[in-house]
Chain A
């Protein structure tokens, strides 16, 4: 039997059974065993019970996207199989305790709880499961001990030891099952880093000089807040859990006013409450960085699931007219780079900058290379006694001072104001200030992140995507291998980079792939370039696109 190139493992059980523990430890073991891994989870909005799952693609080649196919299904509770049956193939192996798996043709029984109990407590079942899975795939046994030890490092030696022993017992059982799921090891991945989207956003914020974060917890953006809190000591970050999103946004704007570099991290419902503050930032020309992890709405929607339906919300948030920038990272690497960039652009242009991610991107892990360094740019000036906060300039950017740095007074007002920040109802001053604020757009557009193009230059069909679907679409198009299809991906959705127009001009067919029900990017592109955008592939069931789903949808559209 030849070792396999890739195995897709689905681990499924109730909330509270420790699926995330298995995901976290197993991904690290895979990496230390010299293999690539992509992991993504889906979960219900409940603390205990129900059915949650994580899918791990383990491969000797780079893997970056979500797939449906399951080779090995580890079942931890009774409703797991029914919930995931549509993803199973005739060769899917179902692994679990007899009571859960006995009716499946392709089942393998491992009594995780009983084995765990032989070590004194059934809570060690997760460690047994990690060991069994590692054994089945012939992962590095030392990596198993090492990562179990690492995971439990805060606990007593006795507890670490018993978990390691449980995992090693599991490993031995896994090896003895004789399943044909051994993986070929072919590439060195130890220098790479295992990262998920949430940590990438947090690290990007730190790279961008973030030293203030105030938020109100809301799925799926909370992990970014938590990661920043963990980084606070090392990087000197002021962290405050606000009483509500309104306070969080106002605090963050005031923090920038006083000289910090602040971010709020929230989701659509939370951001809805911040819209007034975004308008304030627009009027007082104080920067703010907003990370918005999208989930399905309206209202509470599907609180733990994924969607790309808040583009319109951030495009139009806030009353009145003022410039803004919206980034939508297409990968974990971009989540890092664009979050860092968001701080520099917000600071330079004194505007709100949005980083639009979603549950799928935030909760997905894969291996990344060394992260690109993004130098922090700081634009604060030392004021003199004649300082005018809203000095009218040719490019619309007034030098930004902060209180207590220099002799000047920094006076900002949410009312329309003159160059000193003083309230005014003068029609002339109003026009001057509106024009000054909007004049920034010229330079903002010049600093756009261009869309990414892949595929043949002589394409007929242009597939267009934005945000987290990038890598799923890329893999799907590789599988389709059609010579006349190209892919254009937007990581900056607003302002729409003007260069994008040239790609649309060349295309005979343009198909938008979006994870919302109305094609929000398609509508924006239509409005920007005055082109027809009727062809859309849309998904709005709360679950992320898989590679197979994109392949199928594109085939159906094109009849290939």
Chain B
């Protein structure tokens, strides 16, 4: 059995600020990988650019740390070429919903069997405090000095509207919940979005640990995530944000399984012709 520390990178020089919400995410991810007993050789973490995108630097697994906003196309291709790998695309809210917004939409359409973890701190941290696509209207930032004057992007509602096969939200301050959601997302067959509220302690003075505790609630056990209408209602709530698995459609075809080279031969294209 693997332990969370088996995914540690020895002497890693972690670039995150003390108290950053990313620490909760990395801890949860390592715990989830260990509990699923996944060898590092089987896992590829793909990211874009930003502080969240440094995640694979600190996790012992394969790493593809590419370009800003482009983690999803890269993750999709890696899964196409080698469906035996566990592919996790991980990046921030700007990377995934801003620069990579088009890829976000089209990856949902494809439904590849990958997990998409989005560190959502509702601000641009690495560039020192501009609004992100998820910053609420009216919030004052270093750039939007009179307050943000556009509506925030709602990733959960968009994903449910597009019938994404797994849509969840968690808060990095809730370790057990996050581990459980990560495990389910990785085990889910198909595209799994996990939007993770994660405080930026340096540049977002509004959405703090306390704010997320006050403004979120955990969906009850009785909640039925396969009810799409209900999921949409939950996704568009504005008073308090729901945490948990908000929507699930396990009946969608898996993208890579339909590709021509896998119709009669399940051998990953990557390994064909190599002496295994």
> Which residues of A are at the interface with B, using a C-beta cutoff of 8 A?
211-212, 214, 232-233, 236-240, 242-244, 246-248, 250-255, 257-260, 262, 276-277, 280, 284, 378, 380, 382, 402-405, 407-415, 421-423
Given known A-B contacts A211-B269, A250-B70, A276-B67, A423 and B54 have beta carbons under 8 A apart: yes
Closest to B54 in A: A423
Q: Which of A247, A254, A276, A415 contacts B78 (CB 8 A)?
A: A254
**Interface membership of B66, Cβ < 8 A:** yes
Which residues of the partner chain A approach B60 to less than 8 Å between Cβ atoms?
409
Kindly supply a per-residue 1/0 record for chain B positions 250-272, scoring 1 wherever the CB is within 8 Å of any chain A CB and 0 otherwise: 00000000011100010011111
User: Which 8 A-B pairs have CB atoms at the shortest separation, nearest pair first?
Assistant: A259-B270, A254-B74, A251-B77, A243-B106, A258-B81, A247-B73, A254-B77, A411-B63
Q: Which of B49, B57, B106 contacts A247 (CB 8 A)?
A: B106
Which residues of the partner chain A approach B271 to less than 8 Å between Cβ atoms?
259, 404-405
Q: Enumerate 10 A-B pairs (CB-CB under 8 Å) in ascending A order.
A: A236-B261, A237-B261, A240-B80, A247-B102, A255-B81, A258-B78, A260-B270, A405-B276, A410-B62, A412-B65
Pair A239/B78 contact, Cβ less than 8 Å: no
Counting chain A CB atoms within 10 Å of each CB, which of B56, B106, B270 scores highest? Answer: B270
> Which residues of B are at the interface with A, using a C-beta cutoff of 8 A?
9, 12, 15, 40-42, 44, 46, 49, 54, 56-57, 60-67, 70, 72-78, 80-82, 84-85, 102-103, 105-106, 259-261, 265, 268-276
Which residues of the partner chain B approach A403 to less than 8 Å between Cβ atoms?
41, 44, 62, 78, 82, 85, 270
Q: For residue A409, give the distance in angstroms from its CB to the closest CB of chain B.
A: 5
Which residues of the partner chain B approach A258 to less than 8 Å between Cβ atoms?
44, 77-78, 81-82, 85, 270
Q: Kindly list 18 other residue pairs between chains A and B, CB separation below 8 angstroms, not including A242-B73, A403-B44, A404-B82.
A: A211-B272, A212-B77, A212-B81, A236-B261, A236-B269, A236-B272, A238-B259, A239-B259, A242-B106, A251-B74, A251-B77, A255-B78, A258-B78, A258-B82, A378-B273, A404-B41, A423-B15, A423-B57
* A-B residue pair count with CB separations less than 8 angstroms: 163
Q: How far is the CA of A477 from the CA of B67 in the complex (A)?
A: 49
Which residues of the partner chain B approach A378 to less than 8 Å between Cβ atoms?
273-274
Which residues of the partner chain A approach B63 to less than 8 Å between Cβ atoms?
409-413, 421
Which residues of the partner chain B approach A236 to less than 8 Å between Cβ atoms?
260-261, 265, 269, 272
Counting chain B CB atoms within 10 Å of each CB, which of A409, A410, A421 scores highest? Answer: A409
Pair A238/B74 contact, Cβ less than 8 Å: no
Q: How far is the CA of A133 from the CA of B17 in the complex (A)?
A: 77
Q: How far is the CA of A500 from the CA of B223 in the complex (A)?
A: 73
Given known A-B contacts A246-B70, A253-B74, A404-B270, A412 and B64 have beta carbons under 8 A apart: yes
Q: Which of B41, B42, B260 contacts A239 (CB 8 A)?
A: B260
Q: How far is the CA of A38 from the CA of B200 in the complex (A)?
A: 65
Pair A251/B73 contact, Cβ less than 8 Å: yes
Closest to A408 in B: B41
Given known A-B contacts A238-B269, A404-B84, A380 and B274 have beta carbons under 8 A apart: yes
Which residues of the partner chain B approach A254 to less than 8 Å between Cβ atoms?
46, 64, 66, 73-78, 81
Pair B269/A259 contact, Cβ less than 8 Å: yes
Closest to B99 in A: A246
Q: For residue A229, give the distance in angstroms from its CB to the closest CB of chain B.
A: 9
Q: How far is the CA of A15 from the CA of B208 in the complex (A)?
A: 62
Q: For residue A249, give the distance in angstroms from its CB to the closest CB of chain B.
A: 8
